[in-house]
């Protein structure tokens, strides 16, 4: 082989982590092939952007890094190398200008993911990246070559100079993230943690009347508390229980509490912007003979959902006493009995342990094989943190490949 022949890299998985790795590797002159088993690339990326693509977040970088909890120490060098400002500059360079949302989240001006993905794939093709869809990875053969199966069932093998695995976690199997890769890595001695739902909803034993009337309705601007953890935001009543951004932000401690104790009590403050004393004073203004529901609607602007949530968790007969009623508005305990199925979760925890990879994200038991994205055992809330870490670990894996191949 000529010394001018470029080194070859197989990137397996066409999501944000894999595509970021492919972009950096091809820009450095390597011959890169991206294998994606689905008919199109970036399916979960597109799904994430249906309601507005959170590319990253604008909060202080130290606070930003803290969102990664136990994985923070390992991810910080990667986030420093590709921080939120670099993701914004990257999107701008693709012709996708960004803007700052009221929540501090960063969005492309197009809102949706599809224009950014089209521009990204065009850049990759211009850099010579080979994009192979309907190319399903099947692990390794006895000689250590990568096995692939095409749409027609034909099997082929490849022996690249390096491999980047970016196969996703185990939620949204219909979009390609099914965790089917786990047994193949386990057989190679790679340490794995069981998959767990992250950014997921939780089951609640609602009464039939409450469920039928209010499923699909939002709780706006509430505060949710579990122990020492409090999150302000929105939640959604679902037929099976509770979901939504504020719930997702607490999903890890809620999930762990349910695993340990069999259930978890989530306390909902329906008016976090008002003190109990202020609520009591407002409720004192009620007219003699007014019903509780009328007082709640007229004096503190509770919606039918909020009023009926009080009845659901405190009992049908709510007190007329203003102080007692205010106390219930400020603290409505909801018992969560379990997590929603993992395939309904936005993301997953578990996968390849961070101890199984070196600082360049190369598997210690498989030299030349690197791992990026949600395959790794880390989790973070929604709001740009998930994509940011996928981009950053994809870039880190690419740097690891370049270092190994010289």
Q: Is the pLDDT of residue 58 over 70?
A: yes
- CA 316 from chain centre, in angstroms, equals 37
Q: Look at phi and psi of residue 203 and say left if phi exceeds 0, alpha if psi is from -120 to 50, else beta.
A: beta
Do residues 191 and 208 both lie within one domain?
Answer: no
Q: Is the pLDDT of residue 163 over 60?
A: yes
Residues 42 and 15: beta-carbon distance below 8 Å:
yes
Note the pLDDT of residue 1: 45
Domain assignment present for 326: yes
State the pTM of this model: 0.91
User: Which tens digit of pLDDT belongs to each residue from 211-245?
Assistant: 999 999 999 999 999 999 999 999 999 999 999 99
**What average pLDDT score do residues 260-285 get?**
96
Write out the residue range of the structural domain in which residue 152 sits.
Answer: 8-197+348-405
Share of the chain above pLDDT 70, in %: 99
Q: Could you tell me what percentage of the chain is helix, strand and coil, using 3-state DSSP and rounding each to the nearest 5?
A: 40, 25, 35
Domain assignment present for 1: no
CA distances from 310 to 213, 267, 333 (A): 14, 12, 9
Q: Where are the beta strands (DSSP E) in 26-129?
A: 31-36, 56-57, 98-100, 105-108
User: Which tens digit of pLDDT belongs to each residue from 119-158?
Assistant: 999 999 999 999 999 999 999 999 999 999 999 999 999 9
Sole residue written with tokens 């912007």: 273
> How many structural domains does the chain have?
2
Pairwise CA distance, residues 192 & 204, whole Å: 30
**What average pLDDT score do residues 155-172 get?**
96
Sole residue written with tokens 């949302």: 101
Mean pLDDT of the chain: 95
Last residue of a domain, one of 295, 322, 339: 339
Note the pLDDT of residue 3: 61
**What average pLDDT score do residues 329-340 get?**
97
Q: Is the pLDDT of residue 48 over 90?
A: no
Last residue of a domain, one of 291, 319, 339: 339
Do residues 164 and 218 both lie within one domain?
Answer: no
Q: Is the pLDDT of residue 30 over 70?
A: yes
Domain of 368, CATH number, reads 3.50.50.60
Q: Is the pLDDT of residue 288 over 80?
A: no
- CB neighbour class for 273 (10 Å; exposed up to 12, middle 13-18, buried from 19): exposed
Radius of gyration, alpha carbons of the chain: 24
Task: With cut-offs at 50, 70 and 90, classify the pLDDT of residue 103.
Answer: confident
């Amino acid at each position: 082989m000529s010394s001018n022949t470029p080194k070859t890299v197989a990137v397996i998985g066409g999501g944000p982590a894999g595509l970021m790795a492919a972009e950096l590797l091809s820009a450095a002159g390597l011959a890169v092939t991206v294998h994606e088993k689905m008919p199109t690339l970036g399916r979960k990326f597109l799904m994430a952007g249906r309601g507005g693509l959170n590319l990253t977040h604008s909060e202080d970088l130290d606070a930003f890094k803290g969102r990664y909890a136990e994985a923070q120490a390992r991810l910080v060098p990667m986030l420093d190398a590709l921080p939120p400002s670099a993701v914004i500059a990257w999107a701008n360079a693709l012709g996708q200008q960004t803007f700052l949302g009221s929540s501090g989240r960063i969005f492309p001006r197009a809102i949706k993911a599809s224009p950014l993905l089209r521009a990204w794939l065009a850049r990759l093709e211009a850099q010579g990246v080979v994009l192979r869809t309907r190319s399903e990875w099947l692990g390794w053969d006895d000689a250590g070559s990568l096995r692939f199966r095409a749409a027609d069932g034909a099997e082929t093998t490849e022996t690249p100079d390096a491999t980047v695995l970016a196969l996703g976690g185990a939620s949204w199997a219909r979009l390609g993230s099914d965790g089917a890769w786990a047994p193949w890595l386990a057989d190679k001695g790679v340490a794995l943690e069981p998959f767990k739902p992250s950014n997921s909803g939780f089951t609640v034993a609602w009464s039939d009347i409450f469920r039928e009337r209010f499923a699909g309705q939002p709780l706006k601007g509430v505060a949710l508390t579990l122990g020492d953890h409090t999150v302000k935001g929105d939640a959604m009543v679902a037929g099976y229980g509770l979901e939504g951004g504020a719930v997702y932000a607490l999903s890890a401690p809620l999930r762990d509490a349910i695993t340990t104790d069999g259930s978890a009590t989530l306390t909902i403050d329906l008016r976090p912007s008002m003190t109990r004393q202020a609520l009591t004073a407002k409720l004192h203004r009620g007219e003699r003979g007014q019903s509780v529901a009328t007082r709640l609607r007229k004096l503190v602007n509770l919606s039918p959902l909020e009023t009926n949530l009080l009845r659901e968790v405190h009992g049908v007969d709510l007190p007329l006493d203003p102080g007692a009623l205010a106390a219930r508005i400020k603290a409505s305990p909801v018992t969560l009995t379990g997590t929603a199925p993992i395939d309904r979760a936005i993301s997953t925890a578990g996968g390849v342990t961070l101890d199984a990879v070196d600082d360049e994200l190369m598997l210690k038991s498989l030299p030349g094989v690197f791992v990026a994205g949600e395959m790794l055992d880390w989790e973070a809330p929604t709001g740009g943190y998930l994509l940011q870490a996928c981009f950053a670990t994809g870039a880190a894996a690419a740097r690891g490949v370049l270092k190994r191949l010289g």
